[in-house]
Amino acid sequence: MVLKAFLDGRVFGHRVGSGTPTVLALHGWGRSGADLADVLEGTSAFALDLPGFGASPPPDEALGAAGYASVVAPILDEMADRVVVFGHSFGGRVAVALAAAYPQRIAAMVLCGVPLLRVRAPSQPSFRYRLVRWANRRGLVSDDRMERIRRRRGSADYRAAQGVMRDVLVRVVNESYEEELQALACPVHLLWGADDTEAPVAVAYAARDLLASAAVQVTLEVVPGAGHDLHREHPDLVRSRLVSA
C-alpha cells in the first residue's frame, strides 16, 4: 500500500495494486485505510483515510454520512467508470450515502457490520443527566464537570473522540438510512458476523428486507462465530465477495 494525497491534501488514502482502481474501500470508526490491507490484497483499489482518521485532517465542521460522501465523491474521477465499494461500520454509512447520491458510478457494494437502521428506539437520558445538562447551559454547572459526566456516560468511541470528531460521532450515531437504502441502484451484498455486538445481525436482516421491498438486488451472508471486525477475522472471504461483486 502506498499513501497518496487527494483533493490537495484534504483526504489521504492508500493505493493498492496497479492499473485503474476498481475498488473503493472505506474503513470503520477510529481506523484508517491501512486496516483493509489484507482484504484488498491482489486488487486495484483506493483505501481511503476518511477525514479525521489516519493521515487525513478532520473536516471543518461536523459532517454526517452524506457530508462525508460529498467529500469522497470527487475521488471517483480517478477511478474506473463504475466501481465496487466496500464499507465497514462507519465507512459503510458513507458508502450507502455515496451510492445513493452517485448511482451511475457505483457498480456494487459489499457492506460489513454497518449500523444502517435503528432496530430499537434510542434510550433517553436520565432525568438527573438532563437536569445537569440544563444547569450547564445556564452556567450553574461548569463545562469541566459536564465533560466528566459526558465521558462517564459515553461509549469508548465517544470518550476517545475530541473536538469536531466528537460532534461527527454524535451526528452519525443518530442517523438512519432508510431513504438512502431505498434509493440504491446497485446490487448490495451484506456480509455480517453472527456475533457482531456493534451492529447486531438484526440490523442486517432489517436492511435486507427494506432493500428487497424497494426492488434493490440484495444478498445477506451471515458468518457463524464472526464479530464486528469480520474483515480482519476473514479477509479472504471478504476479498472473494468483493472480486465477485
Q: Residue 157's pLDDT is what? A: 67
CA atoms of 245 and 227, how far apart (whole Å)? 22
Q: Is the pLDDT of residue 216 over 70?
A: yes
- Mean pLDDT over each residue of the chain, to the nearest integer: 91
Q: How confident is the model at residue 21 (pLDDT cuts 50, 70, 90)?
A: very high
Domain boundaries, the chain: 2-119+174-244, 127-164
Q: What is the pTM of this model?
A: 0.86
Share of the chain above pLDDT 70, in %: 89
Structure confidence by residue, pLDDT tens digits, 48-68: 999 999 999 999 999 999 999
Read off the C-alpha cell for 178: 432508510
Residues 214-243: what's their mean pLDDT?
96
Cα atoms found within 13 Å of the Cα of residue 211, Cβ hemisphere only: 26
**Mapping DSSP to helix (H, G, I), strand (E, B) and coil, where does residue 31 land?**
coil
CA atoms of 42 and 28, how far apart (whole Å)? 21
Cα atoms found within 13 Å of the Cα of residue 16, Cβ hemisphere only: 21
Residues 120-130: what's their mean pLDDT?
64
Name residue 192's amino acid.
W
Tally of CB atoms within 10 A around 58: 18
On the 0-12 / 13-18 / 19+ scale of CB atoms within 10 A, 115 is buried
Q: Are 4 and 12 in contact (CB under 8 A)?
A: yes
Q: Are 91 and 25 in contact (CB under 8 A)?
A: yes
Out of 1-5, 102-106, 140-144, least confident range: 140-144
Q: Is the pLDDT of residue 177 over 80?
A: yes
Q: Is the pLDDT of residue 125 over 90?
A: no
Q: Residue 245's pLDDT is what? A: 86
Would strands 11-16 and 45-49 be described as parallel, antiparallel, or unpaired? Answer: antiparallel
In sequence order, what DSSP letters do the residues of 43-91 get, joined into one string? S-EEEEE-TTSTTSPPPSS---HHHHHHHHGGGGGGS-SSEEEEEETHH
The domain made up of 2-119+174-244 has a fold known as: Rossmann fold (3.40.50)
> Which of 33, 11, 10, 177 is CA-nearest to residue 98?
177
Residue 4 dihedral angles phi and psi, to the nearest 5°: -135, 140
> Which of 214, 225, 222 is CA-nearest to residue 241?
222
Q: How confident is the model at residue 132 (pLDDT cuts 50, 70, 90)?
A: low
